[in-house]
Every structure is written in C-alpha cells, then in structure tokens.
Amino acid sequence: MTDAEKAAKNAEAPENKVTEMYEYGYRKSNYGPDELVTDSHGNPISVVDAMMSAKDASEAKTVTPHLCYYSPRIPGNTGSAIRLCAVTGTILHLVEPLGFNLKDTKLRRAGLDYHDMAHVVLHPDFDDLVNSMPNSRIIAFTAHATKLYTEVEYRPDDILLFGPEPGDIPDPMDIMSGPHVTEQVRLPMRPSLRSLNLTNCASIAIYEAWRQLGFSGGE
C-alpha cells in the first residue's frame, strides 16, 4: 500500500473523523450538518438510530409526564427541549410536519449526543401519537385556557402538549382543543405581553409535574 493510500485510509478511520469534527472540545462551525449525534465512542450515527420507538415510549416507566411538540418550527427550541428531557428523564414526542430538518446545525449546537436523542420519538402525524398511547391524558398548554397549569395533578403517563411557535401558520386548534384533549391549561402572564419561549414554557410545566411527583429519579 502506498503512502497516499495509507493516508486516505487513516482519514476514513472513525477516530480520525471525530478529530476532524471537533476543535477545542466543540464541534467546528464549518462542519456539515450531516452528522447530528454520536455514539458513546464519539462516532457519528444516524438520527433515527438514536431515537426511541413509539412502542417503547408507550411501554416505558417514566417519572415525569411525556412532553409533545406538535409541528415545532424553530430548531433551537427543539434542541433545548431534547436536553430538557434528557436531564429530567422525560420522553419527548415530536409530531410532523416539522419546520426544520432534524440534521439542522442549530439542533447540533444544542450539544446533543446519542444519550439525549434516546429520549425522543418522531411521529408522522398526531393520530400516531394518540393511537400509540391510548390510555394517556393529553393536557394542552394554550393561552386560550382559563385553568392554570398548577391546578392539575399530573401523572407520569400524561402527555403535555404544546403547539407550534407563533408565526405565519395558524395554531392548530383541532389539535389543541380536539376531543382527545383532557384538559386545557395556561401559564399566567402579565397582560398585553408576548408569550414565553416555547421551551421555557415546557420547562416550567415539566418541573412542576416532576415536583408534584416528588422529583423521583432526581438528585
């Protein structure tokens, strides 16, 4: 084997690929979006391979309610939600259509890795979520509700539902107030002000539910 062939082979080695991806412990800004997550050895793997199946999610024993983002549009919000769910033991359900590619660099910059993505389920539509967890209560968080989020006694098999970020697409009221929704709740805010960031709202909700459940599994 010639020196050029050896150099080419070494460049393809997984450990050398990882070295090329990182600089001072952080992913290089010019590294392409094709590799979002890595396994425990730092090797790039497919996003789908890192995710949880809907069946496994429905059977998992959880210490917090499930979190669902219906048709999220901003990758940074979803990246933050993935990290939120990783640290609280929450399962995150993402319902298509998404407003971004799961390989988006802004998702990558949230510092995601294999273990974080293991808490995420991707559903092709909302019916797939409902059918996969038929015995779960769906609690929709919406500014149109009158009941406060603190007035609910949460269960680990609940699904906390959040709609898309505000934008040009109307809120899907058939999803947020359909017959599948058990409760509609809201976070209190000062009047005439814009809504909180989506994942800020989800964080408040998840931690309130986890508090009610005794922070089981935390330390």
Say if residue 203 carries a ligand binding annotation: no
CA separation for the pair 119, 64 (Å, rounded): 12
Residue bearing tokens 């814009």: 194
Distances (CA, A) of 41 to 14, 19, 33, 34, 78: 9, 12, 19, 18, 25
Q: Are 145 and 103 in contact (CB under 8 A)?
A: no
Say if residue 163 carries a ligand binding annotation: yes
CA separation for the pair 51, 74 (Å, rounded): 19
**Of the candidates 68, 218, 49, 52, which has an alpha carbon nearest to the alpha carbon of residue 158?**
68
Give the containing element (helix H, strand E) for 145: none
Say if residue 32 carries a ligand binding annotation: no
**C-alpha angle 210-213-214 in degrees, rounded to nearest 5:** 90
Q: Which residues sit in the known binding site?
A: 163, 187, 195
List, as residue ranges, the binding site for S-adenosyl-L-methionine.
163, 187, 195
